[in-house]
């Protein structure tokens, strides 16, 4: 199967804190604070060629609209992001936060590495003194006695950039074509999960067989400026795909296989609803 090594995305963190895609869920803990659970999820990656894409998370902080910073995780969480795609999330930690509106997330990493299917491993250079900040949009509002959710999404394919002997368009045909990492730069996106919806569906071929590992991308004009943002994933071995944490609006769904076949469709996303798009590749 041919896979893309680099894809378009509006984010990232969509996503790695998610791959580092991170999901933060807050719920009431007492009269003054709410608790925040940090989870992560991932954007697309050539999963059939990669056994592990590990990210070490040392700290996660939130910044409110007043500029105050609160730490929601401080420790050592090691996550294999390959296991958290198509809507799956991993919990990183839980902590209490004061009520308020949080507009930015900051993530500090401790390590990062990729292990290919042929067992070759590449270590990325990570600065433990640097935090990666991303705007939370829509912002997360934590009210006393209420529950709030924040999703971090990491784009692995934009975070780990491979070098090697690839086909035009950066399609990787064989694991042996990957010779190393050309760069490592975490690419995240963050949203208030309760203010978003999702798109999911299946990809099949004209003969009814599943289109495993098809590249799936959704795009939308989030702020009305005429520029479309994109979020993407890779369908699993059964042709199923899911992209969560999408703001309400009209989306174009684009699906492509390694053989170059492509198809697109339009769909509307509503808050706290999953829009279904089943695509047939001709």
pTM of the model: 0.76
Give pLDDT, residue 234: 86
Could you tell me the residue ranges of all domains in the chain?
3-192, 195-281
| Biggest CA-to-CA distance, the chain | 59
Q: What are the residues facing 135 on neighbouring strands?
A: 104
Give pLDDT, residue 275: 96
Give pLDDT, residue 162: 86
Give pLDDT, residue 254: 92
Give pLDDT, residue 171: 62
Domain 195-281 coded CATH 3.30.450.20: no
Q: Which of 31, 33, 65, 273 has its CA nearest to residue 148?
A: 33
Give pLDDT, residue 122: 95
Give pLDDT, residue 175: 86
The tens place of each residue's pLDDT in the chain, 282 residues long, gives 233 322 222 222 223 333 233 333 333 344 455 645 444 555 445 677 888 989 999 998 999 999 999 998 888 888 888 888 888 877 776 677 888 999 999 999 999 999 999 999 999 999 888 899 999 988 988 888 777 777 878 888 778 888 887 765 556 778 888 899 988 988 888 888 889 999 999 999 989 999 988 888 898 876 667 778 888 888 888 999 999 989 999 999 999 887 767 888 899 999 999 999 999 987
DSSP 215-273: EEEEEE-TTSSSPPEEEEEE--TTSEEEEEEEESEEEEEEEE-TTS-EEEEEEEE-TT-
**pLDDT tens-digit readout, 35-65:** 454 445 554 456 778 889 899 999 989 999 9
Strands 279-281 vs 196-205: parallel, antiparallel or unpaired? parallel
Give pLDDT, residue 24: 37
Give pLDDT, residue 1: 29
């Amino acid at each position: 199967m041919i896979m893309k090594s680099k894809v378009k995305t509006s984010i990232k963190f969509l996503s790695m804190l998610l791959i580092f895609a991170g999901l933060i869920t807050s719920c009431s803990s007492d009269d003054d604070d709410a608790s925040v659970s940090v989870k992560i999820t991932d954007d697309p990656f050539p999963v059939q060629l990669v056994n592990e894409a590990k990210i070490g998370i040392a700290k996660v902080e939130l910044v409110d609209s007043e500029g105050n910073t609160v730490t929601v995780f401080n420790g050592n969480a090691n996550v294999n992001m390959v296991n958290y795609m198509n809507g799956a999330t991993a919990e990183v930690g839980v902590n209490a936060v004061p009520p308020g509106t949080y507009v930015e997330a900051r993530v500090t990493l401790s390590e990062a590495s990729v292990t290919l299917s042929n067992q070759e491993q590449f270590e990325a250079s990570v600065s433990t003194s640097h935090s990666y900040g991303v705007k939370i949009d829509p912002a997360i509002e934590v009210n006393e006695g209420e529950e709030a959710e924040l999703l971090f999404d990491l784009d692995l394919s934009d975070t780990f950039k491979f070098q090697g002997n690839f086909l035009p368009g950066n399609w990787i045909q064989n694991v042996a074509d990957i010779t190393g990492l050309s760069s490592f730069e975490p690419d995240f996106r963050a949203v208030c999960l309760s203010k978003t919806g999702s798109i999911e569906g299946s990809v099949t071929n004209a003969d009814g067989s599943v289109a495993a590992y098809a590249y799936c991308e959704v795009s939308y004009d989030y702020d009305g400026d005429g520029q479309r943002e994109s979020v993407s994933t890779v369908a699993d071995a059964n042709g199923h795909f899911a992209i969560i944490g999408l703001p309400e609006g009209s989306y174009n769904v684009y699906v492509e296989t390694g053989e170059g076949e492509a198809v697109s469709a339009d769909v509307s996303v509503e808050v706290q609803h999953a829009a279904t798009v089943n695509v047939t590749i001709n």
